[in-house]
Structure 1
Amino acid sequence: MITVITGTPGAGKTLYAIEKLLLPQIGKTIKGRDEHGNEVEHERKVYTNINGLQIDHELIDGGVTQGLRDWHKWAKPGSLIVFDEVQKVWPPRPNGSKIPEDVQTLDTHRHMGVDFILITQNVLNVDRHIHALGGRHLHVRRVANMPLATVYEWDHISRGLLYSKAISKAPWKYKKKVFKLYKSSELHTKQPRRIPGLVWFILVGIVAMFVLTPQVFERIGGRLSGKPVVPTEKPAAVSGAPATAGAGAQPAAAVEPVKQAPDERVDFMPKLADRPWTAPAYDQLRVVVRMPVVDGAICNEKHGCICFNEGERLEMSSEACSEWLKGAKFNPYRVPVKPPPAPVQAQQVEAKPQVDQSMHYEAPKVQQHADMTAVTKSAKTARLAQSGQL
C-alpha cells in the first residue's frame, strides 16, 4: 500500500509517521509467496531517509540503496520504504511528459511485497501518477501552535483536503519521548502560543452565561408562575440623625408592586411535552399523593425488563429493572403493610317473626283483578286494629 502523509511545516508529519506507522512495524513479518508459489514469511525491513532515526533501518542516501529512484532494483519483499520530503525526488511533471520508470514501477509494488509511506507538504507537489495509486491519505493539522493536532484520513488521495469527506477524524497529542527517536530537519524556533480568537469568544461567552443566567431564569420563572416581577431596588440610605415625628409628619406610602396580567399562552403551555397537566396554570391543583415504588417486573429478550407499580409502568431503564428482579433492595421510604385482622365469625341468628296463632284472619277470595287493592288494604287494616296500633 502507498500511504501519503501531508501537513504544513511543523505540523508533526514525521513525528506521526514514526509513532503511528513505523514503531508498530518493528520486529514484524509479512506473509508472501516465493517464485514457486509456496507461502513464506518475509522480515519487515525499514528503508528511510529520516535524519538521525534511532530505529533499526537502512538509510536511503544514494549509497548501497542508490537512492529512491532505484527502489525497484534494491527493494526486497517485506520492505517498508519511508521517504520524507518526497516532492524532491518525484516532483510534478509537465503535461504530456513520459512517466519515469521508477514511478511507473509503483503500479506493481504490491506484487513485490513493498509498502510506501511518503511524506510531503501537499499532494499537489508530487507526481500526479502517485495520486491514483495512493490507498491511504493522512493529513496532520496542528491546533493553535500547541502540541496537539487533528488527523484526517481518507481511503484515497484527497487533492483538495475535503474534511467533510474524510472517513475518520481523530485528535493526536505529541509525545516527547518520540522526539528523541529522530532529528527534525527543520530549525526548532519556539513561537509564542497565542490563544485563537475563537477560544477567547468561547471564554467570554461562558463568563457571560454565569453572570446573566440567574437573572434570565428569575424573569422566566416569574412569567411562567404568573407572579409579578418586581425590580430590585437599593434601600434608601438611613440618615444618621433620628427622625422626629412632627405635627405635619405623614407616614410614607407603601409602594405596591406592579402586577402584570397573566399570559394564557404561557400559563397553559405544558412544561413537559404530551403532558397537559404540567402547565403552570395547574400548579396550585397538583399535589403529590404517592411516590413510585417497584412492586413487579417483566423481562423478555425482545423488550428487556419493564418495572411496574400497582400495574402502572415506571420510567426505569431495563438494567435497573433487571437488578431489582434479581433481588429487591431495601427501601427506607416504603411503609410496611400490616396484614388485616382475622374476621370474627359471629353466629348469625335468623330472627323468625312470631305469629300469634290465636288469631286467624281469612282474607276474602279475590274474584277479579280490580278488587285486589281493596282486599289487601282491608286485610292490613284488620291486622293493625287487632294489634292495637290503630
Structure 2
Amino acid sequence: MIYLYTGVPGAGKTLFCLRDMYDFWKADAVRKTKEAKVHEGEWANYARPVYVSRVKDLAVPGWKLLENPAEWHKCEVGAIIMMDECQEDFPPRPNGSNVPEHVARIADHRHKAQDLFLITQHPSSIDNFVRRRVEQTNWVLRKFGSKLVVFYSWPGVCEAPEKSKGSGFKRERLYPKEVFSWYKSAEAHTHQFKLPREAWYFAAALVAIPLAGFVLYQAVIGLGFKPDEKRPEGNLQTEKKDGKPLEPPRPPDPVKTYLTAYTPRLEGLPHTAPAYDQMTQPTRVPVPAACVDIRKTCTCYTQDATKLNMDQALCRQIVASGFFVQFNPERERREQVASGASRAAESRPQTDRSGYRFPENDNYVGVTSNGAAVLTYDRPRSAAQVAQAAPSENVAGPVVEQAQGIGRGRVIMSQ
C-alpha cells in the first residue's frame, strides 16, 4: 500500500509516520511468529527490511538509510520504504511529459509486496501519477504549537485535506515522545507552545471581572453604603427628623373604614359597595334571548328583558340566522320561573292569561323576575295582529312589523 502523510512544516508528519510505520512493521513480524509457532519475542527475526530516506541520525535497529530515493524500486521484495519530503523525488510534471522509471514503477510496487510511506506538505505537491495511487491520506494538524494534534485520515487520496475535514476520520493524538530518540527531529526544538490570542483574552477576562467587582464594592463602601447591614425595624420609631422623634403609625379610623366599606362605587346602586363584594359574585351570564329588527334599528335583549349593547351587524345576523348557545345559562332560573308560573296559574283564573287575548295554543313562555312576559311566535305577525293580541302599552319597545330571534320570533311584554 501507499500511505501519504501531509501537514505544514513542524506539524509532526515525520514523527507520526515513523510511529505508525514502526507499529505496522512490528505487527507484521509478530503475526509471522504466530504463523511459525515460535515465541513472540523472536519477532525481529521475522521482520521485513525497512529503508528510510532524508531522516537524520536514524537509530532504529534493523532500519537502513536509503541513500538514493530514486532507486527505491531496487529494494528487495517485501521491503517497507519511507520517503520524507517525497516531492523532491516525485515532483509534479507537465502534462504529456515522459514518466520517469522510478515514478512509473509505483504502479507495480505490489508485485514485490512493498509498502510505501510518503511524506509531503500537501497532496498537490507530488506527481499526479503517484497521487492517484495513494491508498490512504493522513493530515496532521497541530494545535497552537502544543504536543497535541488533530489527526485526519481518508481512504484513497484526499486532494484538499483542509477543505475535507467533515468527511475524514478524526482523532486527537499526543506527540509520541519515544520517537524523538529514533532520529534527530527539528520539531523538538523549533516549535514551542503558544497560546492563541483568544485564550489570552479569556485569561484576562478571568482576572479583570473579579477585580472590577472588588473595586466597585470598595467604592460603594466608601460612599457609606453597607449592603450586608439591614436596618432594624424597631429603630424606625426612635429615629429623629429635625430633632423631633418620629411618631409611630396610627391605626385606621374605624368610622372611616365603615363608611368606606358601605359607600357604593356607583351612586344609587348600594350593592356595588365593597362590603357586598363577596355576595355579588356573578352566578349568571347574559345572552341575547330576543332580537328585534325594525325600521333600520336592531335591538337584542337579555333573558331579563334588558337591552344588550350590540353591534347592528351582529344583531341582524342573529335575527337572520339565529344564535346557538352551547351552555345552559338559565337552567336553575328556568326551573324557578316554571315553578313560580305553575303556582301562579293554579292561584288565578284561567281568564287571567286570556285577558291579554293570547290564544291558548300560542307559545307563552312565562314570567320573568321583573314582571315581564315573554311571548314567542312561530311565524311573522304584523303590527295589527300584535296590537290585537295585546294592548300596545304592554309591548316592550315599539310595535314591530316582524320579530325574529333565536330560532324564532320573540316579543317581550310587560305584565
TM-score, normalising length: structure 1: 0.48
- Which of the pair has more CA radius of gyration? 2
